[in-house]
Chain A
């Protein structure tokens, strides 16, 4: 790919620009999620101990694994939305594949995510053991990356034309967070035990849910996700990436005029 080096340069720009001048610099990318994870651990592992027959055995780890996936998804998509505007000067004055802009944002978030997963997985294994299923993790993570990248491409180009996309997204992510199976496993919630429709919606209508479940199955439970979950993950990734790319290419023509 002729623009491979451009992509590296865009990632460098993204890394530098955000935290330029701060003492910790690039480390802030890691510190924010770590602090968040620490806070959740404090809440649900120490203060409000979640325990009971229906709740997972090592609840803090159960929560953190799901949380890390969510952080990657939400941060990548939220940061991609204004990315074309942030790099507006470049878009208006030079000719280059503009997909590299949201692509570099997602890549920077991916690096953070991989660092967090690399931290979390050995800890989880130490407490809960593991299995050969862990070998499926790279595939699941690749699908997650493709899924998030597709969404980031779509969101970035839409926001350039409709400036309320980022605020709407920001507002939607909060309830979306609570409805995702991060704090709970829908199938095991006592209040929902007979509400099969509700369980179905929570598990399948939310496109992020199967990704969270797949990663958690492999890292926390040490088992392969169900075939239906795996299939959903692969198909959602393919659709999101293809759709996101197509939408971006369709709409990117006037970007130099609107950003």
Chain B
């Protein structure tokens, strides 16, 4: 695997959606089966894809299509039921706001924890911490407990950390939406820098404009299957038609109050 290369081969993954999943030893010994209940959800059905280092890939689809499951499988948090997954190099995933933050710790302490989670040493983190704090624009809040943070602040902290981790693969789930416009642009610029350095980007978003600005390749998932994989300017119309949000006629520009 080259750093930044991503491979999924015939990947399948299902999740049980029964209530009360925690089993007990008692149940196992007595052998009573709990019959009935909903069937497992097949989040990924025989999905194959290959991404080269430095590519920028957007993943879109309905809610429940398997986008987040794809990222969880790529980041190695959830194993596959069958098939193969591999990601080369340092994988940095932003799957949820404030994921992995200890609530009682300050932003600064969480920077150290997050860096440590990615295998960095104390010295390596100390070398970057000023840059991270600067990027986040959190100011004095970086020393407050993250339990007091808003979701926008979680994004600022989380993204600032992710942006300084020398990622070879960047996996970003729908988290950028909570950032204000200025910060979103800052994030996009930083992502562009990392891609220029050779990182691979996989971005899940419902923001079509963001995907069009950031990604060259688009993957559309539906019901756990890959139904489109190609250039983003072909993929977006396909996706809009799929969602039923395609405009039949291009909108006519007009002034407020003007009759058309």
Residues of A within 8 A of B (CB): 2-6, 8-9, 13, 16-17, 20, 89-90, 92-96, 161-165, 168, 253-254, 256-258
Cα distance A5–B118 in the bound complex, in angstroms = 10
Write the chain A residue with the least CB distance to B96.
A93
Name the distance in Å between B143's Cβ and chain A's nearest Cβ. Answer: 15
Tell whether, in the assembled complex, residue B116 and residue A163 are in contact, meaning their CB atoms are under 8 Å apart.
no
- In Å, the complex CA distance between A16 and B79 comes to 31
B: residues with CB less than 8 A from A are 15, 21-26, 28, 72, 75-79, 91, 93, 95-96, 99-100, 102, 104-105, 112-113, 115-122, 125
Q: What residue of chain B has the Cβ atom nearest to residue A258's Cβ?
A: B21
Contact B119 A16 (CB under 8 A): no
Q: Which of B22, B24, B91, B96 contacts A258 (CB 8 A)?
A: B22
Chain A residues with CB under 8 Å of B22's CB are 161-163, 258
Cα distance A3–B124 when bound, in Å? 13
Interchain CA distance A28-B121 in the complex, whole Å:
30
Q: Which residues of A are found within 8 Å of B77, using beta-carbon distances? A: 92-95, 256
Report Cα–Cα, A168/B118, bound state, in Å. 36
Sample of 18 more A-B contacts, CB < 8 Å, known A94-B99, A258-B21:
A5-B120, A6-B119, A9-B113, A16-B102, A16-B105, A89-B99, A92-B99, A93-B77, A93-B95, A93-B96, A93-B100, A95-B117, A162-B24, A162-B25, A162-B28, A164-B25, A168-B25, A256-B78
Complex contact A96–B117 (CB within 8 A):
yes
* A20, closest chain B residue (CB): B104
Option from B100, B105, B118 in Cβ contact (under 8 Å) with A90: B100
Kindly list the 9 A-B residue pairs having the minimum CB-CB distance in the complex, ordered from nearest: A93-B99, A6-B116, A163-B22, A94-B100, A164-B24, A2-B119, A9-B116, A253-B79, A256-B77
Complex Cα gap A94–B21 (Å): 22
**What CA separation (Å) do A154 and B78 show in the bound complex?**
20
CB distance from A20 to the nearest CB of B (A): 5
Max count, chain B CB within 10 A of own CB: residue among A3, A20, A94, A96: A94
Q: Which residues of B contact A2 (CB under 8 A)?
A: 119
**CB pair A17 B119 closer than 8 Å:** no
Question: Are the C-beta atoms of B104 and A17 separated by less than 8 Å?
Answer: yes
Closest to B78 in A: A256
Contact in complex: A162, B23 (CB < 8 Å): yes
A217: min CB distance to chain B, Å: 36
Question: In this complex, what residue of B is CB-closest to A164?
Answer: B24
- A20: chain B residues at CB < 8 Å are 104
Determine whether the beta carbon of A94 is less than 8 Å from that of B24.
no
A6 to B118 alpha-carbon distance, docked (Å): 8
A257 CB to closest chain B CB (Å) equals 6
Is the Cβ of B102 less than 8 Å from the Cβ of A13?
Answer: yes
* Distance (whole angstroms) from the CB of B45 to the closest CB of chain A: 18
Chain B neighbourhood of A168, CB < 8 A: 25
10 residue pairs from A and B, CB less than 8 Å apart: A2-B119, A5-B115, A6-B119, A8-B122, A9-B112, A94-B77, A94-B117, A161-B23, A163-B24, A258-B22
Cβ–Cβ < 8 Å partners of B72 in chain A: 256
Residues of A within 8 A of B23 (CB): 161-163
Q: How far is the CA of A162 from the CA of B27 in the complex (A)?
A: 9
Q: Which residues of the partner chain A approach B118 to less than 8 Å between Cβ atoms?
A: 96
Contact A257 B78 (CB under 8 A): yes
Which one of A3, A8, A93 has the highest number of Cβ atoms from chain B below 10 Å of its Cβ? A93
Interface centre among A2, A5, A20 (most CB of B within 10 A): A5
CA distance A17 to B119 in the complex (A): 22
Instruction: State how many angstroms separate the Cβ of A246 from the closest Cβ of chain B.
Output: 17
**Set of chain A residues within 8 Å of B79, measured between Cβ atoms:** 253-254
Residue of A nearest to B100 (CB): A94
State the CA gap A89–B112 with chains docked (Å): 17
Which one, A5, A17, A162, contacts B121 given CB within 8 A?
A5
Question: Once bound together, how far apart are the Cα atoms of A216 and B109, in whole Å?
Answer: 41
Q: Quick one: which of A95, A161, A253 contacts B91, CB cutoff 8 A?
A: A95
Give the distance to chain A from B122, nearest Cβ to Cβ, in Å.
Answer: 5
Q: Which partner residue on chain A sits nearest B112 by CB separation?
A: A9
Q: How far is the CB of B32 from chain A (nearest CB, A)?
A: 14
Chain B residues with Cβ under 8 A from A96's Cβ?
Answer: 117-119
